[in-house]
Structure 1
Amino acid sequence: MLDGIRLLAALMVVSYHYMAIGGGWTSSVTKLFPRGHLPASYGWLGVELFFVISGFVICMSCWGKPVGEFFVSRVTRLYPAYWVGIIATTAVVILVPGGLTPRSWPEILTNFTMLQQPLNSRDVDAVYWTLAAELHFYLLMAVVAWRGLTYRKIVVFCFGWAIASAALIKWDDGPLKQMVMPAYSWYFIAGMAFYLMYRYRPNLLLTGIVATCFLAAQRFALIQLGREEHSMGRNVPEWPVTVILAVCFGLMALVATGRLSWIKWRWLPVAGAITYPLYLLHEYIGWEIFRNLQGHYPVYAVLGGTVLLMLLVSYLVHVLVERPLSAWMRPRLRAAVEQARTASRQVVRP
């Protein structure tokens, strides 16, 4: 069922970019989608749900595996679809006239490293900002998992990260604050606590960690709402933010306690597989489609057709590029990691 929740999070973000931001549409979304724009205005919370899922999944991926294997799994999972996203988005922006301004070639090339934000280069697509947060989390998890993960180590890490996040809130932005991510750490921490519930069983300590993260996240979610209101150009009620976050945490609690284990629909693995390509591809490409098709076809036909197209393209990227390229990269990266491990054990004799 976790795959289904992933797709839900992705579709929340898609609805926000397509029906709330208004990119690509020549008319106001409040007029185009009189009933849909307000619910879509909270779709950005799908990113927060992604972060909770990431805390759960990455903790599960690290468990019982050496750091080298964790490195291989993350590289082969993140980069193939990401490279396709850069190429496809750049091609569409360049080839479609009168729309978005393409990034410079140095910026595009820098994006292929996925390090554009620390290198002070603009993202090819605005949605890539979340990848920096994911990379920070992966780095922290690699340090924690260096000698293997244990229940105690994860709990200590959760407490330490939460304390550091609270302590750094009032600090000026700097490398330490950027690594700790006090605005988003609460979601990753909650995800890890949910995984411990899943692997062992719920208890008061883990429930307390999740509850603390939920309560602490409220302040930052409302700050983020202010930023999103600026992007949308209008204000929306605050109370749905708390309700939607509660639903997101509630869904993860159901997963952690096994209450959704009976759901085994065949399409769920496919849903989980296409979520990442969908997230990477949908925004700028979708906006260019809206800009060129609005006025020629009914608005809802353009919207629905674009969503279906993005789902189809995401599936094709997964099947034709992501899966075979990951399979090609995985043994070669493992061999490189093993070579480095073997070389580090050799004694250099004079």
Structure 2
Amino acid sequence: MVVKSSARAIPLDILRVFAALWVLVHHWISRDGLARNLQQPYDVSWVPGWIVAAAAPGFLGVDLFFILSGIVISRSAIGRSWSEFAVARFCRLYPAYAVAIALAILFAPITLINYPPLSQSILGITGLQWFVGAPTIVGPAWTLFLEVQFYLLITILLLVFGKLTSQQLRNAAKVWCLVLLLAPSLQLPWLNFLAISEFGPYFALGMLLGLCNSKEELRSDLPAILVLLALSCVRIVARLSEASSVPQHELFAIFMLLGVLYIVYLCAKADFFGRFRNIVNPSALMSYPIYLLHEPLGMPAIGALVAYGFSPKTSFLIAGGVLFFVCWLCVKYYEPMARRLLSEKLFKKSETGQLN
């Protein structure tokens, strides 16, 4: 059974929330990344072993985000001009990103051992640091560069071919599948760009899954879907191998992802989430600022609370509450206002009602 787009919104939102929280827990209890750069480190030995095991492959929440992005963005591109699409994507990404950069710049001197020079940090507000090789002060924001590449590919399609139908976007995804198969062997710069740093299969897979709205379309796209699924699994295994030498984590992560996807599918089929729409939708909107802010805001807050005498467990709870409250304020008040101003003042056209 292929679930129609209207019925898929809540399951996709559930997956967004799961991915954001999986990344958050992974970073908050890991010894890598920002944890090694905190002036006030905190103890995580109290965390139960099963949570540590579940969180170890939590960086794969990013991979899940890329697939979800392929689903959502391809559907949002249907029937839009290239300018409408580009404006909507910019207004969706930039406001929360700007807040994350500003908070990171503000707190870095008092929370981090090493941090980029102020000039490079300010450059991060523009996003140009990715193009000149400068560091990004908000660690999780590295994924936005890949997201922007995907948006750029869709924008180029719309610019060249005009407003596209679902069928045309599915055909483009199939061509992209072929390019992704050829890119590793041909080693051509433009093909490497289309591969999006080896994360391209996730976006292309999401495109085909998001645009299949009938059994007939699914059967037609199944060969390409299987190829992209295989390429995605190869990428997942490679990332797990790079991050950990414990084989159990690889199996655990793959079965966990499959289990979550299957549970969400069953719940969607039974329309289980319909009664929770008023809770799920706002939580899904918060998943993006949670993803960006959980490192520059959440982790230093935990360290500071521990330094002031709070227990690690209490510090986690307080920092989590503060993070979620800030993200709620961001989604409730700041982001709608920022998007309206951006679309009306900078682009002279309001797209706030169509942002996804």
8 A contact 1:186–1:214 mirrored in 2: yes
1:69 aligned onto 2:84: yes
Instruction: Specify the SS of the correspondent of 1:35.
Output: helix
Q: Is the 8 A contact 2:53 2:249 kept in 1?
A: no
Do the aligned partners of 1:63 and 1:148 also contact (CA within 8 Å) in 2? yes
Structure 2 CA distance, aligned partners of 1:258 and 1:10?
Answer: 24
Q: Taking structure 2 as the reference length, what is the TM-score of the superposition?
A: 0.83
1:344 corresponds to: none
Q: Sequence identity of aligned pairs in percent?
A: 22
TM-aligned CA deviation for residue 153 of structure 1: 2.0
CA distance in 2, matches of 1:283, 1:171: 38
Tell me if 1:273 matches 2:279: no
| Structure 1: tracts of 5 or more residues without a match | 338-350
Residue 328 of structure 2 corresponds to which residue in structure 1?
315
Q: 1:187 to 1:29 in 2, by over 3 A?
A: same
Measure, in 1, the Cα distance between the counterparts of 2:198 and 2:143. 12
2:23 is matched with: 13
Amino acid at match of 1:119: V
Partner amino acid for 1:310? L
Would you say 1:121 and 2:131 are equivalent positions? no
Partner residue, 1:103 = 116
| Displacement of 1:121 | 0.8
Paired position in structure 2 for 1:244: 256
Q: Which moved more, 1:55-64 or 1:258-267?
A: 258-267
What SS is found at the alignment partner of 1:3? helix
**Aligned equivalents of 2:348, 2:215: Cα separation in 1:** 34
Alignment of 1:1-350 (within 5 A): 1=10, 2-21=12-31, 23=35, 24=38, 26=41, 29=44, 32-96=47-111, 99-146=112-159, 147-170=162-185, 174=189, 176-181=191-196, 183-198=198-213, 203-229=218-244, 237-247=249-259, 249-250=261-262, 262-294=274-306, 296-335=309-348
Amino acid at match of 1:16: H
| Aligned-partner SS, 2:115 | coil
State the AA in 2 paired with 1:15.
Answer: V
Distance 1:140 1:52 in 2: 15
Between structures 1 and 2, the one with greater helix share? 2
Partner secondary structure for residue 50 of structure 2: coil
CA distance in 1, matches of 2:66, 2:260: 11
d(CA) in 1 for partners of 2:244 and 2:104? 25
Partners of 2:197 and 2:265 in 1: CA distance: 22
CA distance in 1, matches of 2:49, 2:41: 15
Distance 1:276 1:171 in 2: 35
Answer whether contact 1:3 1:272 (CA < 8 A) is retained.
yes
Contact in 1 for aligned 2:179/2:191 (Cα 8 Å): no
CA contact (8 A) 1:125 1:283 kept: yes
Counterpart contact for 1:221–1:241, Cα < 8 Å: no
Change (3 A) 1:258 1:59: farther
* Cα distance, 1:114–1:317 mapped onto 2, change above 3 Å: same
* C-alpha distance in structure 1 between counterparts of 2:249 and 2:218, whole Å: 35
Deviation at 1:274, TM superposition (A): 1.3
Number of aligned residue pairs: give it.
Answer: 332
AA at the equivalent of 1:241? A
Letter in 1 for 2:315: V
**Hey, what's the Cα distance between the residues in 1 that align with 2:276 and 2:158?**
31
Residues 289-308 of structure 1, C-alpha deviation per residue, up to 9 Å, x if partnerless?
A: 23223362232222222222
Letter in 1 for 2:52: H
Structure 2 unaligned residues grouped into runs of 5+: 1-9, 351-356
Deviation sequence 1:92-133 (CA, Å, 0-9, x none): 11233xx34222122112211223222211111111110011
